[in-house]
Amino acid sequence: MTVNQYDAIIIGGGHNGLVAAAYLARAGKKVVVLERRHIVGGAAVTEEIFPGYKFTEFSYVVSLLRPEIIRDLELPKHGLKILPLPSTFTPMENGDYLAAWDDHDLTRRELYRHSPKDAEAYDEYARVMARAAKAIKPIINLIPPDPTSLSLRDMLGLLKVGQYAAGLSEKELYAIAKLATQSSADLLEEWFETDALKGTKAASGIIGTFLGPRSPGTAYVLLHHYMGEIDGAFRAWGFAKNGSGGVSGSILNAAKALGVEIRVNCSVKQVIVKNGRAVGVALDNGDELQSKVVMSAADPKRTFLQFVEQKHFPDEFVTSIQNFRTRGSSGKVNIALSELPNFTAMPFEGRGHDSVLHRGAVSISPSIDYIERAYDDAKYGQISKRPYLDMIFPSMIDPDMAPPGQHVMSCFVQYAPYDLEGGWNDEKRNELGEAVIATIEQYAPNIRKCIVGMQVISPKDIERIAGITGGNIFHGELLLHQIFFLRPTPQWADFRTPLKGYYFGASGAHPGGGVMGAAGMLAAKEILKDGM
């Protein structure tokens, strides 16, 4: 009987679940993580889909992994290495390119080639964004207070936010207010004139949302992406050794070293509720596990609509979770390559192993209109004919990702709507793959003959494999009405739920998506605060 008795059960072995488990174990708790798949990592996994070629299957870059998690869990000791991803290269439709290198002067000179005005505006834009990110950042680490509550904790929390806001300069407040309401297109058009620059910047405002660059609210997502840049202010963006699976792997090792039990191939049927309190879980195989608390690291819909009978929650709460927007809008194409695609805008000679652009990201985002047009297709249930692509070549950053002399390529593709007209099937998946290859071919004509193997992942596949409802990479869009004290739903943004003993700590909770680990860490801290 004692075998299945725990202090805490964590449902879901994604990076947030593992982080929460490690923090709880670190506080001396007996913890088990239950993972439905045969490997942990969730959407942060690396798998050899073709022998010898490692695909960082879903998520592919690290920008926001909390530094305190890295230190607290001693992740470098457990294998974490975040390697630099130094540049962004945007090939243009006229055969030229726009590059942002990791050197400030080089980038200025590159932009200068396109527009002297933009070259300088870029610096100031970066400073304004970095200042706004710095200003808003302390909020990320606060437990969101409920502005309508009269409890002491919420009042103190609000006071903290208020005091913090009062400490901001007028300029910073205005900048934040604008960022919170504008579209990324409006914001960028205030600053720049170069299409490829605006397109590439706008792209980061639409990632993981079902919005276009001209939709209001997307400017905030731009800011969200700047958060990574102010952490230690240096090289915060990166690619983890062994891909995103390398991040999960190091957290897994840390959790194990702290005594966390990991069970894979172990899917949860339901949370067991007794006397209005979560007291354990029932597994699909009929086993039952008992615990003092249960935390879900799954998405909000699974957490509240699938694992727990709805009668345990207030109706309003259920409605609100039902309305939580989780529209998947992106897919992923992972490609095993016999050689590197050669971009005509900056061709290499020979094998290309010293090609600078392949060490960074390649962005297919020639203009805001290009991306907005891609969105137009998706709005009406179609795959973008010419999608936005964010590509990296993991084997150029970490040579162990592919056999010597061979390469792997990771293509994030947007838009690929979850609710595709006619539904997703193999034919549609091929259509998505073809849209990606045809798009790349326009800039790197040799792409087709480089392909050794290809994996196309639709939002439906993200849902099926990683278990994320709707296939949204952030477990729910980062929209203004779905962040901070509204994430996942008003009054329940503090990692607690209406069901006693049941907690929620994943990307669908504050502060949101990205391989960040913050939700898992903060949830674990709240669990410990409540005592068990």
Partner 1 sequence: MFNLKTTPFHERTSALCQPQNWRKWAGYFAAGSYEHTLDREYWAIRNAAALIDVSPLIKYVIKGKDAAALLHRVTTRDIHKMKVGQVAYTGWCDEEGKMIDDGTVTRLEESTFRLTAAEPNLRWLTMNAVGMEVGITEVTDEVAALSFQGPNTRKVLNIVAESPVDELKYFRMMKNRIKGVEVTISRTGYTGDLGYEIWMDNNRDALKIWDTLMEAGGDYGIAPVGILAMDMARVEAGLFMLDVDYTSASHAWIEPQKSSPYELGLDWTVALDKPGYFVGRRALEKEKREGSIWKMVGLAVDWVGMEKIYKQVGLPPQIPGMAVRGSLPVMVGNVQVGYASTSTWSPLLKTYIALAHLQKPYFELGTDVRMEITVEHHRQHAPAKVVKLPFYEPEWKKR
Residues whose CB is less than 8 angstroms from the CB of residue 396 and which lie 6 or more positions away in sequence, other chains included: 340, 353, 355, 358, 359, 407
Long-range contacts of 393-399 (CB under 8 A, 24+ apart): 393/340, 393/358, 393/359, 394/54, 394/56, 394/60, 394/239, 394/243, 396/340, 396/353, 396/355, 396/358, 396/359, 397/83, 397/84, 397/85, 397/239, 397/359, 398/83, 398/239, 398/241, 398/242, 398/243
Rounded Cα gap, residues 203 and 329, in angstroms = 13
Q: Which is nearer to partner 1, 117 or 500 (CB)?
A: 117
Rounded Cα gap, residues 431 and 450, in angstroms = 19
In 3D space, the residue among 72, 26, 17, 160 whose CA is nearest the CA of residue 519 turns out to be 17
Residue span binding partner 1 (CB under 8 A) among the ranges 115-123, 174-182, 312-320, 477-485: 115-123
Residue span binding partner 1 (CB under 8 A) among the ranges 35-43, 121-129, 247-255, 524-532: 121-129
To partner 1, the closest distance from the beta carbon of 253 in angstroms equals 37
287 near partner 1 (CB under 8 A): no
229 near partner 1 (CB under 8 A): no
Rounded Cα gap, residues 187 and 109, in angstroms = 23
Greatest alpha-carbon pair distance for the chain in Å reads: 72
The answer to whether residues 217 and 477 touch, using CB atoms and an 8 Å cutoff, is no
188 near partner 1 (CB under 8 A): no
Q: How many positions of this chain bind partner 1 (CB under 8 A)?
A: 21
Give DSSP secondary structure letters for 327-379. Answer: ---EEEEEEEESS----TTS--STT-TT-SGGGSEEEE---HHHHHHHHHHHH
Rounded Cα gap, residues 212 and 209, in angstroms = 8
Q: Which is nearer to partner 1, 33 or 121 (CB)?
A: 121
To partner 1, the closest distance from the beta carbon of 128 in angstroms equals 10
- Exactly one of 35, 57, 110, 390 binds partner 1 (CB under 8 A); which one? 110
99 near partner 1 (CB under 8 A): yes
To partner 1, the closest distance from the beta carbon of 407 in angstroms equals 20
The answer to whether residues 56 and 409 touch, using CB atoms and an 8 Å cutoff, is no
To partner 1, the closest distance from the beta carbon of 119 in angstroms equals 7
- Exactly one of 28, 106, 288, 425 binds partner 1 (CB under 8 A); which one? 106
Q: Which is nearer to partner 1, 116 or 381 (CB)?
A: 116
By CB under 8 A, what part of segment 345-364 binds partner 1?
356
To partner 1, the closest distance from the beta carbon of 113 in angstroms equals 7
- Pattern of binders to partner 1 over 122-161, x per CB under 8 A? -xx--x---x--x---------------------------
120 near partner 1 (CB under 8 A): yes
Rounded Cα gap, residues 260 and 295, in angstroms = 14
DSSP secondary structure code for residue 233 in this structure: T
116 near partner 1 (CB under 8 A): yes
Residue span binding partner 1 (CB under 8 A) among the ranges 100-108, 205-213, 376-384, 386-394: 100-108
Q: What is the dihedral of CA 427, 432, 435, 441, to 10 degrees?
A: -100
How many Cβ atoms are within 10 Å of 28's Cβ, its own excluded?
Answer: 10
108 near partner 1 (CB under 8 A): yes
Residue span binding partner 1 (CB under 8 A) among the ranges 103-111, 305-313, 390-398, 487-495: 103-111
The answer to whether residues 199 and 90 touch, using CB atoms and an 8 Å cutoff, is yes
To partner 1, the closest distance from the beta carbon of 91 in angstroms equals 14
To partner 1, the closest distance from the beta carbon of 103 in angstroms equals 8
101 near partner 1 (CB under 8 A): yes
Residue span binding partner 1 (CB under 8 A) among the ranges 119-127, 246-254, 330-338, 367-375: 119-127
Give me the residues that bind partner 1 (CB under 8 A), please.
99, 101, 103, 105-106, 108-110, 112-113, 116-117, 119-121, 123-124, 127, 131, 134, 356
